[in-house]
Structure 1
Amino acid sequence: MALSNNVIGAINFIAMLLSIPIIGTGIWLTTQPDNSCVKILQWPVIILGVLILVVALAGFIGGFWRIPWLLIFYLIAMLILIILLACLVVFVYMVTSRGSGHMVPSRAYLEYNLDDFSGWMRRRVRSSFKWDRIRSCLSSSSMCAELNQSYRMAQDFFNAHITPLQSGCCKPPTECGYTFVNPTYWISPINNAADMDCLQWNNDQTQLCYSCNSCKAGLLANIKKEWRKADIILTITLVALIAVYLIGCCAFRNAKTDELFRKYKQGDPYN
C-alpha cells in the first residue's frame, strides 16, 4: 500500500510539472504585442494551467500522505480539467483553421482579407467598441516605425518579408495604387476608390491603416500563427496529461485492491 501511494504521489508530481508548459504558453502569449492588445486566449490558458497545478498538488499530497479523499478529488477534478483542456485545444484549432495571406504582384509580403477568417475570429475585431481599444493599443507600438528604420528604398521594402500585422496596418493595400515614399508614407493616386481601405489610409503616423479591414485581417493572421504554436504545445501536454492520468488511475485502483486484500487476510474485508 505504501509503495502504491508513493507511486501515485510521484505520478501527480509529474502532472504538476506538466502544468508548467501550459502556464508558460499563456505567459508567452501575453508577451506578444498583438495578443496583449486583444487579450482572448492567454488568461484562459494561464488559469487552466494554474488549476491543473493545484489539483496535481492535491493528488501529490494525497498520495504521499495517504489521504483518500484528496486522491478522489484529484481523480474527479483532473478528469474535468483534461476535458476542458481538450475542448480548448480543439476550439483553437477550429477557429484558426481558416485565413491565409494572398500574394500580390511584385511583392514578397502577403496581404490579408478579413472575410477569409472564421466568423468567431472576425467578431473579435469587427465591432467599433472592441476595435477602438485594440487600434489604440496597436498604434502605440513601434512596429510601423521599425519599417521606416529598416527600409529606405521602395524595392527593398517590396522584397521584404514583413509580418501580417505590419502588412495590414502600416501601409495601404497594394490594389489602391499608392506611390511609395517610405514604408509608412505614400502618395495618394488620383483614383483610390478601389476599396474602402484605400479611403481609410492616412499618412498621419498615428492613423496609417489602423482603421482598415486589412489591419484587422493582419491582426487575425498574426494571432492565428501564434495560437497555432500555442496549440501544438497544449496538444502535446494534453497527451502527456492523459497518459499520466490513466497511469494514476491504475495505481489508485491497485492501491485500493491491495488494501482490500490486506483487510480480507486480516478477516475484516468491510472496515
Structure 2
Amino acid sequence: MVRFSNNVIGLLNFLTFLLSIPILVAGVWLSKQGSSECERWLEKPVIALGVFLMIVSLAGLIGACCRVSWLLWVYLLVMFLLIVVLFAFTIFAFVVTNKGAGEVVSNRGYKEYRLGDYSNWLQKRVNNAKTWNKIKSCLQSGKVCSEFQSKFLNDTVTEFYAENLSALQSGCCKPADECNFTYQNPTTWTKTANATLNNPDCDAWNNDPNVLCFACQSCKAGLLQNIKTDWKKVAIVNIIVLVFLIIVYSIGCCAFRNNRKENWKGY
C-alpha cells in the first residue's frame, strides 16, 4: 500500500508529462504558422498550458518516484490551488451564463438575439470597443458570413426564412427581421420605403461583405449565445475534471505521508 500511492501518482504524472509535449509543440507551431491574429492570440495560452503541465507533472513524478517530499509538497499545493480555481470558475460560468436565450420569430426557422438579454458582465466585455474590434476581426477572418452566403446563396426568400441558422449567422450575417428589409440573397438586402429603423442595428447594416452586421448589437448577442453554450459545456467538463483532480490529490496526500514516514525511518 505504501508503494501503491507513489506508483499511481508517478504513472499519472508521467502520462501528464507526455500530454504536455504535443500541447507545447502546438503552441510553438501556432506562433510560427498562425496566419491570423486569432490564431496568434491562442499561442501564448497554449504554450503557457504546455509549460505548466510539464513543470507540475515533473514535480509530481520526481516527488513520488524519488521520494522527494518537498517536491511532492509543491505538487500538492499547486493541485490544491488548481482545484480551488476550477471550482470557482465552474460556479462563475454557471452564474454568468444563466441569463440569455434566442427569441423565437414567427414563421422563421431561426431565432433572433438581443444583447440586453445576457448578463451585465458579458455585455460589458463585448461593449468594450477594443475587445470587440479584435473579436470582429476574428469573425471576419473566420469567414463566418462568407460561408453562410455560399451555403444559402440559391435560397428563395421563403426557403431562407425556413433555415435553421446558427446564433452567429442570425446575428452577424443578416439584418434583424424587424428592419423589414427586402431579401435579395442571404447577405444582400434592400432598404425599402416601409423599412423600420427604430432598431439601431438597421442603420448599422451594410451589404458590404466586410461590414454586414458585424457592428450590430445582434452580432454581439449571437457571440454571447455561442459563449453561453460553450461555457456550459466547459463547466460540465470541469466538474468531471474536478472529481478526477480530487481523487489524484487524495492519492498524492497518501504518497506525501508515505514519503515522510520513510524519511523518518531513515533517521
TM-score by length of 2: 0.81
Alpha-carbon offset, residue 195 of structure 1: 0.7
Of the candidates 12, 15, 37, which is equivalent to residue 14 of structure 1? 12
SS at match of 1:186: strand
Match of 1:118 in 2: 119
SS at match of 2:198: coil
Match of 1:157 in 2: 160
Q: State how far apart, in whole Å, the 1-side matches of 2:60 and 2:176 are.
A: 55
SS at match of 1:8: helix
Identity in percent: 41
Alpha-carbon offset, residue 218 of structure 1: 0.6
Deviates more, 1:199-208 or 1:89-98: 89-98
Alpha-carbon offset, residue 11 of structure 1: 2.0
Match of 1:266 in 2: none
TM-score by length of 1: 0.80
Alpha-carbon offset, residue 185 of structure 1: 0.7
Q: What letter matches 1:87 in structure 2?
A: A
Q: State how far apart, in whole Å, the 1-side matches of 2:79 and 2:46 are.
A: 15
Structure 1 position 238 matched with structure 2 position 247: no
Match of 2:257 in 1: 253
Listed one character per residue, the Cα deviations across residues 3-61 of structure 1 (whole Å, up to 9, x for unaligned) are 6356324225325646959x97xx8xx9xxxxx48x69x96687457535522321111
Deviates more, 1:106-115 or 1:9-18: 9-18
Q: Cα–Cα, structure 1 residues 85 and 7, in superposed 2: closer, same or farther, change >3 Å? A: same
Alpha-carbon offset, residue 168 of structure 1: 0.3
Deviates more, 1:185-194 or 1:113-122: 185-194
Alpha-carbon offset, residue 244 of structure 1: 1.1
Of the candidates 175, 178, 182, which is equivalent to residue 175 of structure 1? 178
Q: State how far apart, in whole Å, the 1-side matches of 2:202 and 2:172 are.
A: 12
Listed one character per residue, the Cα deviations across residues 87-117 of structure 1 (whole Å, up to 9, x for unaligned) are 2222222222222111011111111110111
Deviates more, 1:210-219 or 1:183-192: 183-192
Q: What letter matches 1:164 in structure 2?
A: A
Contact 1:15 1:241 in 2 (8 A): no
Q: State how far apart, in whole Å, the 1-side matches of 2:14 and 2:167 are.
A: 36
Match of 1:71 in 2: 72
Q: State how far apart, in whole Å, the 1-side matches of 2:229 and 2:54 are.
A: 27
Which ranges of structure 2 fall in alignment gaps of 5 or more residues? 31-37
Q: What letter matches 1:211 in structure 2?
A: A
Match of 1:62 in 2: 63
Of the candidates 176, 193, 200, which is equivalent to residue 196 of structure 1? 200
Q: State how far apart, in whole Å, the 1-side matches of 2:120 and 2:57 are.
A: 36
Q: Cα–Cα, structure 1 residues 133 and 44, in superposed 2: closer, same or farther, change >3 Å? A: closer
